[in-house]
Structures are given as structure tokens and as C-alpha cells.
Structure 1
Amino acid sequence: MTQLHSLPEASLNQLFRVARTVNGFQSVPVSDETLHALYDLLKWGPTAFNAQPARYVFVRSAEAKEKLRPALSSGNVAQTLAASVTVIVAQDTRFFEHLPVQFPAYNAKPLFEANAALSLATAARNSSLQGAYLILAARALGLDAGPQSGFDPEQINKAFFPDGRYQVNFLVNLGVADPAGIRPRGPRLGFEEVAQIL
């Protein structure tokens, strides 16, 4: 019988049980090397057709943060400006152009090129998956994360993706948590409330 090899409890705690959505950050810089290491982890997460439709803008400089500020909801401004980096997780609306290289099993490009609804749904679903991989990769590297959707997508797209090819999905603030910015954890639904085994 094949034996499962679980991660150590400390790793599971860091990724899930102790990890929190962070709403305040200490002034601790995140280096280029860390951002490259972050991507080098998250890129291995699976996506449909190996499409990898997510695109990332690491908003770190004061100038870039000010460019982002007008699009943020009022409740997200302080934490976003305090975060060492804010990642704009976007989706490439023409991700299928890369499929001949990324998915050589067969020519899947025409499938998406001819079906705008399928292409949009695939980009949205899989860039969301990749954003989740980013959060877990950040936690694995010792960073804290604060994902958020409180923003005006049209403003972000206009400011950062004016040619229209990329479209924002959501934002993730990254850095080292300020304990004062950690709110009490909300309860989670139990297995019997959300799942069934058939």
C-alpha cells in the first residue's frame, strides 16, 4: 500500500492553520530575489492546458503605489500603502497564443481562439488558481499575504494595462505582518456543512 508523505505539522501551520489574512504590515522590504523565488514556486501549480494565463505586476515603489491608490476602496488604502509589495494578479485575454509551446500535446489554440466565452472563463478560473498559488508560495517563503478585491477594476486596467490585453483579477498585499493588523479569525464551516463523500 502506498504511504502518504505529509508535510511536517509546522509547515501545515505556516501554510494554513496559523497563516492569516493580513491587514497591516511592518516596514520590511521584499527584495527582487524574493519576488523571483516567489514566482519560481507558484509557476509549478497546475492550470488547464498548462495555459498559465495569470500575469503579475509587483507594485513596490512609492510612485507605483500612488498610481494604484485612486483605484482602491477607502478601506484598503492604508494597508496597501503599508504593504512592502502589492501584486496585481491579472489575466491575459490572449493566453492561448502561448499554447503551442506550453501545451504541445495537441493544437488547443483554435479551441480558445474561436470561443471568446470559453477563453474568458478559462483565463478567469486559472488566473484565480495561480493567485491562490501565489498566496501559498508567499507563506511558504515566510511572507504574509492580504488578498483583496476592494478596488475599481476599470481604473486599474486603464492605469496598468492600457492596451486591454491584460485584465485585473485581484490584488495581494505582501510583506511582514504588523500584529496590530491581524484581526480575530472568523470561524470555518465544518466538513458536514460543505462536503459529501459519495
Structure 2
Amino acid sequence: MNAPEVKELDELRAKAQENHRALHSRINRLSDDAIDLILRNARSHYAWTDRPIADALLHEIYEIMINGPTSMNTLPARFVFVKTPEGKERLAKSLKPQNVPKMMGAPVTAIIAHDLDFWKELPFLFPHDDRRHLFDGKPEYCADTAYRNGTLQGAYFMIAARALGLDVGAMSGFSNAIVDEEFFAGTNLKSNFLCNIGYADETALFQKLPRFAFDQVCSFA
């Protein structure tokens, strides 16, 4: 894809600025209820009802998540939605025993992965300046950028799911090597973490664990 011409780029920038002003004139913050839903009172879940999730809802989560910022718009995250009995059995091979029922009971488990070759898509994703030379032949920098930004996108994914009324439960108690062999063999994709998605069975919840106060972890410079 060719980079936009100067006039076209100026028009695109002006439109983006106009859209931003319009957004903030329409809504300047989320309601307290909305903040409670996505973060403040949200919980990680480990047990699930049998209420199914339509594929259209997974598409909607993606369409929200993909708008979250990443460096140079690299968008390295890749997602595999594991929902069939066969897929669940393959994924179960990688899990610690105590995590198997958590995953098997969820309607969908997302494998959040990242593509180490993300930079090859930069002519499409970052068309106004070719930045591929920053990554070509630099595998450590590629891996660091992909992991950091893919993790960000995984967090956006969880918040988007909660915003649509779903519950989530992220998991790291599994073997990345087994997941990569089972689902990404022959590719440059690497798994990061898993996220169960569904409608929670709240009877499995325990009390919310402590959080740090502002002054314990924040400072000014």
C-alpha cells in the first residue's frame, strides 16, 4: 500500500482531529457504573455457566479491542478462539491440572498470541512512513515489541469483553511450548496467555484480594 500523498494526509489529519473533538463534546468520561463493570468491581472468574457465546459477540470484542493503541500501530496480537471439544482437548495438554476444569468449563478460551513477523505488515498498518528497517534482522527487538504490544492488546481484549457484559478469567498456568507446538507449529506465532470467556458462575467467587493504595506504588518526579 502506497503512503498517502501530502494533501491526502493533511485531510486525514484534519478529519481525525475533528472526530476527536466531536467525541469529547459528546462524552467526556465513562459513568461510574461503566467503570465498575470493566475494572473497578470486575472480577477474574474460574467457573462458568453453560450459557453459550455467539461468534458474532467474539467479532464484536475484536472490533472494539483492535482500536487500542500499540507502538507504531504494530498490532502484533493474534487470537485463537478454542470452543470445540477437540480444540479443548488439545489445549488441555498444556495446562496445569488445577486449570483444566477452569478451561473445559468455559464456553470459549482465547489463546492470546503474537506474531514475530508483525513488522512485515507495517506498509499497511503505518503507511505514512516505512519503518520496517527498524525490525528487519533484529529478532530480539521484534520479540520484545511483539510481546509488549501483544500483551497490551490482550488487556484491551479483556476490557472489551467485560464492556459487552461477558466475564473473563486470564490464565498463565500452562506450557507455552506445548501450546505453540499444538496450535502454531510452522509459524512465527508465539503464545502469551490464555483467557477464558463466558458468563460466570458467581458461586465460585471468593473475596476480592487486596490492592495497593496510591501512595504505596505511585510517586511524582
After TM superposition, the structure 1 = structure 2 runs for residues 20-99 of structure 1, keeping only pairs within 5 Å, are 20-99=43-122
| Equivalent-residue separation in structure 1 for 2:204 and 2:107 (angstroms) | 14
Distance in 1, Cα, partners of 2:156 & 2:93:
27
Consecutive unaligned residues of structure 1, counting only runs of 5 or more, are none
- Cα deviation per residue 1:75-117 (whole Å; 9 max; x = unaligned)? 1111100011000000101000100110112111111112111
Q: Deviations over 1:16-66 (max 9, x none)?
A: 122100011111111110000010000000001100000000001111101
Q: Which runs of 5+ in 2 are unaligned?
A: 1-23
1:7 has 2:30 as partner: yes
Q: Given residue 132 of structure 1, which amino acid in structure 2 is its aligned partner?
A: A
- SS of equivalent residue, structure 1 residue 113: coil
Number of residue pairs matched by the alignment: 197
State the distance in 1 between where 2:53 and 2:206 align: 23
Q: Distance in 2 between matches of 1:165 and 1:194?
A: 37
> Aligned partners of 1:30 and 1:82: how far apart in 2?
13
Q: Distance in 2 between matches of 1:34 and 1:184?
A: 29
How many percent of aligned residue pairs carry the same amino acid? Answer: 37
1:126 corresponds, among 149, 163, 184, to 149
Moved more, 131-140 or 6-15: 6-15
RMSD (Å) for aligned C-alpha atoms: 1.3
Off by >6 Å, runs of 4+ in structure 1: none
- Displacement after TM superposition at 1:5 (Å): 1.7
Deviation at 1:132, TM superposition (A): 0.0
- Separation of aligned partners in 2, 1:195 and 1:10: 25
What letter is aligned with 2:44? Answer: T
Q: Which amino acid aligns with 1:123?
A: A
- Rounded to whole Å, the distance in 1 between the matches of 2:106 and 2:133 is 41
Equivalents in 1 of 2:197, 2:40: separation in Å?
18
Tell which deviates more after alignment, 43-52 or 113-122: 113-122
* Amino acid corresponding to residue 147 of structure 1 in structure 2: A
Matched, 1:193 2:195: no
Q: Distance in 2 between matches of 1:98 and 1:182?
A: 42
- For the pair shown, the structure with the greater C-alpha radius of gyration is 2
Aligned-partner Cα distance in 2 for 1:169–1:181: 26
- 1:148 alignment partner, one of 147, 168, 171: 171
TM-score, length of structure 1 as denominator length: 0.96
TM-score, normalisation: structure 2: 0.86
Deviation (angstroms), 1:164: 3.4
